[in-house]
Structures are given as C-alpha cells and as structure tokens.
Structure 1
Amino acid sequence: MPSADTLERFIARVEANAHVEAVEEFYAADSTMQENQNPPRIGRDKHAENERKVMARARSVSSTCVRPVFVNGDHVVIRWIFHFEWQDGSHTHMEELAYQRWEGERIAEETFFYDPAQRVPKKP
C-alpha cells in the first residue's frame, strides 16, 4: 500500500509532465501496464521506452489529476486528463481512469480505461 506522501509525489511527477521519470521512480521493475483490453506491456524499462516515444512526438503535454483519488489498501484509482499538442500541429484530448495495484511504494500493475476514439488526433 503506497503512503499518502508517495501517492502525492507520483501525482506531482505526472502533473509536471515528467512521465518517463514517474515510471522510473514509481513502477516495479517487473510491473505490467495495460490499455483497455490490449495485451499488457511487461517491465518498467518497456513502460519508460513507450513514454519516451510518446513524449518525442509531442510539442507539449498537459497532465491533470482529477480528484478525489480513490485508495483501498493496495488498489488506487486515478482519473487523469491529458492534452497533447503534437509536432504536426494536431492535438489529442484524453480522459482516462488508471486502476493500479501497488506493492508497497511501487506500482505493480496498472490498467488504463478510456474511450479509444479519443486517441485519434484532431487537426487544427
């Protein structure tokens, strides 16, 4: 179960758009990350690599935690809103729920739930 301080530090990292750093600091080495019903990615290094690729495509990113954050033992649910401005001038606005299972102070499993239609970039 994450401490309240750890959870707040994690949220602050993501809201600062330090997504790669958040993965490196708060995910277990063998953690899994899954989007909707897609097969999960396994391993912190793969998660960080995926975040680097996404961030390299973005001109800017805005990340917001919508409170309250729900915590029940080792399980945490966070509602996120992300706005991406892409290098080509298009943008993506996404809202998702992240369902996490923590082992101590590290995220062991995470599943994101969102409408996949949100992923389609909108042209300016």
Structure 2
Amino acid sequence: MPSIETLEKFITVVESNKHDEAIELFYTEDSSMQENLSPPRIGRDLHLTNERLVLRRAKSLSSKCIRPVFVNGDHVVIRWVFHFDWKDGTSTDMEELTYQLWEGEKIKQEQFFYDPAQRIPKTNS
C-alpha cells in the first residue's frame, strides 16, 4: 500500500508534467499499463519509451489531478485532466480515470479509462 506521502509525490511529479520521470520513480520494472480494454503493455522500459514519444510530439502539456483521490489498501483511483498543445498546431483535451494496483511504494498495474473520441486532436484556430 502506498503511503500518503508517496502518493502525493507521484501526483506532484505528474502535475509538473514530468510523466516520464513519474514512470521511472513510481512504477515497478515489470509493471503493466492498459488503455481501456486494449491489451496491456508490460515493462517500465516500454512505458518510458511510449511516454517519451508522446511528450516529444507536444509543444506544451498541462496535467491536473481532480480530487479526491480514492485509496483502498493497494488500490488507488485518480481522476486526471490533461491538455496537450501539439507541435503540429492541434490540441487534445483528455479526462480519464486511472485504476492502479500498488505493490508497496510502486505501481504494479495501471488501467486507464477514458472516451477514445477524446484522442482525436482538434485544430486550433
């Protein structure tokens, strides 16, 4: 079960838009990430590679935790709101719930729940 201090540090790093750093610091080496009902991606190195590819496409990013955060033993649910301004002049607004299984002070499994239609970038005027 994560300590409140660890959970708050995790949220702070994500809200600082250091998503890759959050993966390095707070995920187990063999962690899994799953988008909705897609097959999970396994392994922290794969998560890092994927996240860095996304971050390289972004001109700017805003990440916000919408509280409360729900904790029940090793399980945590967080509501996130993200705004991406992409280098190609488009933007994306995402709101999601993430369901996490923690192993001590690190995330072992994570599944994101969101409307896939949000992933379609909007043209900025």
- Give the secondary structure class of the aligned counterpart of 1:39: coil
**Structure 1 residue 6: Cα displacement:** 0.2
**Structure 1 residue 120: Cα displacement:** 0.2
Q: Which amino acid aligns with 1:118?
A: Q
Aligned length in residues: 124
Mapped pair 1:4 → 2:4 = yes
**Structure 1 residue 33: Cα displacement:** 0.2
Q: Provide, for residues 25-66 of structure 1, a one-character-per-residue CA deviation record: whole Å limited to 9, x for no partner.
A: 000000000000111000000001111000000000000000
CA distance in structure 2 between the aligned counterparts of 1:48 and 1:80, rounded to whole angstroms: 19
Match of 2:71 in 1: 71
CA distance in structure 1 between the aligned counterparts of 2:49 and 2:3, rounded to whole angstroms: 27
- Give the secondary structure class of the aligned counterpart of 1:80: strand
Q: Which runs of 5+ in 2 are unaligned?
A: none
* Runs of at least 4 residues off by over 2 Å: none
TM-score when scaled to structure 2?
Answer: 0.99
**Structure 1 residue 14: Cα displacement:** 0.1
**Structure 1 residue 71: Cα displacement:** 0.1
Match of 2:97 in 1: 97
TM-score when scaled to structure 1?
Answer: 1.00
Match of 1:62 in 2: 62
Mapped pair 1:117 → 2:117 = yes
Q: Which amino acid aligns with 2:109?
A: E
CA distance in structure 2 between the aligned counterparts of 1:50 and 1:13, rounded to whole angstroms: 18
Give the alignment's Cα RMSD to 1 decimal: 0.3
Match of 1:50 in 2: 50
